[in-house]
Structures are given as structure tokens and as C-alpha cells.
Amino acid sequence: MADLIQIRVKNFRAFREAGFDLPTHGLVLVTGQNNAGKSALLSAPRRRRRPD
């Protein structure tokens, strides 16, 4: 099983470019105002194109 250690997005929904590193253990809390892109940022890894 692989661990997700960072998220980087570019030209994805409301983000020109954003990213952050994730801790190897513990809890990650994502906060922000409505329509700030919290859900979009967390859905980015699911939408990543798989290599051919």
C-alpha cells in the first residue's frame, strides 16, 4: 500500500498552483471559507490521470 505524502495541483479548478506536504502520521485538518476550494483540493488526487 502506498502513502500519500504530498498534494500538488496546477490549473485545477480554482487553483493556478497549490500544494502541501502531508505528515506521515496523524490528522490533517483542511479549513477555509465557503467556495475556497477545500473539496476541490482534496479531490485532485482522484482525478489524476493514470500513466498509459
Write down the pLDDT at residue 49: 58
What is the pLDDT tens value at each position of the chain, 52 positions in all? 677 778 788 887 778 888 888 888 888 888 889 988 788 877 776 666 555 5
Write down the pLDDT at residue 51: 55
Angle, alpha carbons 7-11-18 (nearest 5°): 35
**Length of the chain (residues):** 52
Write down the pLDDT at residue 38: 82
Write down the pLDDT at residue 46: 65
Selection from 2, 16, 12 nearest residue 41 by Cα: 12
Write down the pLDDT at residue 50: 55
What is the torsional sign of CA 6, 10, 11, 16? positive
Q: Which residues contact 17 (CB under 8 A, 6 or more apart)?
A: 8, 9, 10, 11
Write down the pLDDT at residue 4: 76
Q: How many CB atoms lie under 10 A from the CB of residue 41?
A: 20
